[in-house]
Amino acid sequence: MFKTIKEESMQAEIVEKKSKFIANIFYVQTSEQAEEIINRINKKYYDARHNCYAYSIQNANKSIKRFSDDGEPSGTAGAPILNIIEKNNISNILVIVTRYFGGILLGTGGLVRAYSEATIKALDKVTYVKEECGMELSVTVNYSDFENLKYFCKKNNIYIINTHYENFVECTIEVNNEEKDKLIANNDKNNFKILNYKVIKEKNIRKNIEN
């Protein structure tokens, strides 16, 4: 389990000595997805001097961390962005900071501060959630048990993706392994009976961080 962001994207902007720094944050799950977004941002801000980035991805016990200064002096852009990500213990995140040069050199220290501040300002706008390995699960119950199933899901912060009503009620839900075991226990405490269930696919799931 690790911390990530709830929003699919977020943006913030700062100005430092006439240079404009635009920080774009994205939720990503793979390096391929991150690289695709980087290419898209490069095309969007084609007239910018630099599009520097860093991303941190955690999947299936594998960690990937990469960054780029995109022409800025080594260690003044991508690494500071990644440092902010790591200090906040965030995974599955891509941060791209675009710089429009304002005609005044900032120096190495000024660049580090500017790229860091732009990243921090964007992160201040996001909501953090926890992400863990889980699955989409199809669950079938009688109509008489559906309200109790919904109550169970709400109480345990389990997301119901969709519901189909036919002879029985079939729900697609997101659960982690512990929640799956608890859900299909079919004990009296749950006040409902699972008629049938099957794993649709394994996936990472995001849940609110409880205070």
Cα-to-chain-centroid distance, residue 80: 20
Are 116 and 139 found together in one domain?
no
CA dihedral 37, 39, 41, 46 (to 10 degrees): 180
Asked which of 99, 126, 153 is the last residue of a domain, the reply is 126
3-state secondary structure 31-80: HHHHHHHHHHHHHHCCCCCEEEEEEEEEECCEEEEEEECCCCCCCCCHHH
Asked which of 64, 95, 126 is the last residue of a domain, the reply is 126
Alpha-carbon distance values, 127 to 24, 75, 146 (Å): 15, 28, 31
Are 75 and 146 found together in one domain?
no
Which residues form the domain of 182?
132-208
Are 105 and 183 found together in one domain?
no
Pull the structure tokens for residue 190. Answer: 């749950």
Whether the Cβ atoms of residue 94 and residue 8 lie closer than 8 Å to each other:
no
Full-model pTM: 0.80
Are 111 and 177 found together in one domain?
no
Residue by residue, pLDDT tens for the chain (211 residues) are 889 999 889 999 999 999 999 999 999 999 999 999 999 999 999 999 999 999 999 876 688 999 999 999 999 999 999 999 999 999 999 999 999 999 999 999 999 999 999 999 999 999 999 888 889 999 999 999 999 999 999 988 899 999 999 999 999 999 988 889 888 876 667 788 899 999 999 888 888 876 5
